[in-house]
C-alpha cells in the first residue's frame, strides 16, 4: 500500500520483497564467510507441502577448499516430471546433476556472495519461496532466522 494515497502499489510491494532478498543474501554470505570446514550450514524452509518439495540447500567446504552448495533431487519434488524440470532450472544456471541424485555448484572459498546468489535463485525461483522470512539456517543444531525486525539494512560487501 502507498501510505500517502492508501492505494496498493504492486511496484512498491515488489521492491520491498527484492530488498528483503538482498538482506537475506548479505546475512547468508556473512554466515558462509564465518563457516568453518567441519561445521556445514543448511538453509531450509519452515513450511513444506504434503508430498511436495522441501526447500533445502546444504553448504559445505570440499577437501580442496571450495564452497559447495548441494540440493537433493528428492527435495526439489518427490516425483516427476516436476523434479526433472527443477533439476533443469538448476543445471541451466551452472549446477551439476550427479548420479547420487543431488545437484551441486561450487565456488572459490571466498566466493560467498556468488554462493548466496545461487542459493537465492534456487530458493526463490526454483522452489518459489515467497520471501526469506520463511527460511532458517541450521549450523551445529542452532537455528537462525535471516530476517528480523532489528536486522540492519545494508549493502552487500561484495567479497
Per-residue confidence of the chain (159 residues) as pLDDT tens digits?
455 667 778 888 878 888 999 999 999 999 999 998 889 999 999 876 666 788 999 999 999 989 999 999 988 887 777 788 999 999 999 999 999 999 999 999 899 999 999 999 999 999 999 999 889 998 877 777 776 555 555 555 555
Residues 6+ apart with CB under 8 A from 79: none
Per-residue confidence (pLDDT) for residue 102, from 0 to 100: 96
Task: Map grid coordinates 516427476 to a residue.
Answer: 80
Task: Establish if 119 belongs to a structural domain.
Answer: yes
Task: Establish if 158 belongs to a structural domain.
Answer: no
- φ and ψ of 71, to 5 deg: -130, 130
Task: Map grid coordinates 549446477 to a residue.
Answer: 95
Task: Establish if 63 belongs to a structural domain.
Answer: yes
Per-residue confidence (pLDDT) for residue 5, from 0 to 100: 66
The residues facing 61 across adjacent strands are 67
Supply the pTM of this predicted model. 0.83
* Number of domains observed in the structure of the chain: 1
Q: Contact at 8 Å (CB) between 131 and 21? A: yes
Per-residue confidence (pLDDT) for residue 13, from 0 to 100: 84
Task: Map grid coordinates 564467510 to a residue.
Answer: 33
Task: Establish if 157 belongs to a structural domain.
Answer: no
> Which domain does 134 fall in, by range?
10-145
Per-residue confidence (pLDDT) for residue 52, from 0 to 100: 72
Task: Establish if 97 belongs to a structural domain.
Answer: yes
Per-residue confidence (pLDDT) for residue 11, from 0 to 100: 84
Instruction: Please state the separation of Cα 61 from the chain's center in Å.
Output: 17
C-alpha cell at 70: 548441494
Tell me which DSSP letter residue 122 carries: I
* Alpha-carbon gap, residue 91 to 51, rounded angstroms: 24
* Alpha-carbon gap, residue 56 to 45, rounded angstroms: 7
C-alpha cell at 93: 544456471
Task: Establish if 154 belongs to a structural domain.
Answer: no
Task: Establish if 152 belongs to a structural domain.
Answer: no
Task: Establish if 56 belongs to a structural domain.
Answer: yes
- φ and ψ of 27, to 5 deg: -65, -45
Per-residue confidence (pLDDT) for residue 14, from 0 to 100: 79
* Alpha-carbon gap, residue 67 to 82, rounded angstroms: 27
Q: Contact at 8 Å (CB) between 90 and 77? A: no
Task: Map grid coordinates 532450472 to a residue.
Answer: 89
Neighbours of 66 (CB within 10 A): 14
Amino acid at each position: 500500500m502507498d501510505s500517502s494515497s492508501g492505494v496498493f502499489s504492486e511496484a512498491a510491494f515488489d521492491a520491498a520483497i527484492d530488498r528483503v532478498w538482498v538482506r537475506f543474501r548479505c546475512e547468508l554470505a556473512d554466515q558462509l564467510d564465518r563457516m568453518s570446514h567441519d561445521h556445514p550450514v543448511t538453509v531450509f524452509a519452515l513450511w513444506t507441502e504434503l508430498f511436495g518439495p522441501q526447500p533445502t540447500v546444504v553448504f559445505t567446504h570440499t577437501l580442496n577448499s571450495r564452497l559447495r552448495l548441494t540440493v537433493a533431487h528428492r527435495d526439489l519434488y518427490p516425483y516427476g516430471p516436476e523434479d526433472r524440470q527443477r533439476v533443469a532450472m538448476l543445471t541451466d544456471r551452472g549446477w551439476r546433476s550427479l548420479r547420487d541424485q543431488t545437484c551441486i555448484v561450487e565456488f572459490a572459498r571466498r566466493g560467498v556472495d556468488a554462493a548466496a546468489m545461487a542459493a537465492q535463485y534456487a530458493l526463490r525461483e526454483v522452489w518459489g519461496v515467497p520471501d526469506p522470512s520463511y527460511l532458517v539456517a541450521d549450523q551445529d543444531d542452532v537455528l537462525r532466522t535471516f530476517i528480523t525486525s532489528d536486522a540492519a539494512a545494508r549493502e552487500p560487501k561484495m567479497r
